[in-house]
Amino acid sequence: GAVVSQHPSRVICKSGTSVKIECRSLDFQATTMFWYRQFPKQSLMLMATSNEGSKATYEQGVEKDKFLINHASLTLSTLTVTSAHPEDSSFYICSARITTGNSPLHFGNGTRLTVT
Partner 1 sequence: AQTVTQSQPEMSVQEAETVTLSCTYDTSESDYYLFWYKQPPSRQMILVIRQEAYKQQNATENRFSVNFQKAAKSFSLKISDSQLGDAAMYFCAYRTSNTGNQFYFGTGTSLTVIP
Which residues make up the interface to partner 1 (CB under 8 A)?
32, 34, 36, 38, 41-46, 49, 57, 59-60, 91, 93, 95, 97, 99, 102, 104-105, 107, 109-110
Which lies closer to partner 1 via its Cβ, residue 75 or residue 110? 110
Give me the least distance between CB of 21 and partner 1, in Å please.
Answer: 15
Which lies closer to partner 1 via its Cβ, residue 49 or residue 82? 49
Q: Which of 58, 50, 93 is nearest to 75 (CA)?
A: 50
Q: Where are the beta strands (DSSP E) in the chain?
A: 4-7, 10-13, 19-25, 32-38, 44-51, 57-58, 67-73, 76-81, 90-96, 106-107, 111-115
Which lies closer to partner 1 via its Cβ, residue 94 or residue 115? 94
Give me the least distance between CB of 49 and partner 1, in Å please.
Answer: 5
| 100: Cβ contacts below 8 Å, ≥ 6 apart | none
Tell me whether the omega of the peptide bond preceding residue 40 falls within 30 degrees of 0, making it cis. Answer: no
Give me the least distance between CB of 16 and partner 1, in Å please.
Answer: 27
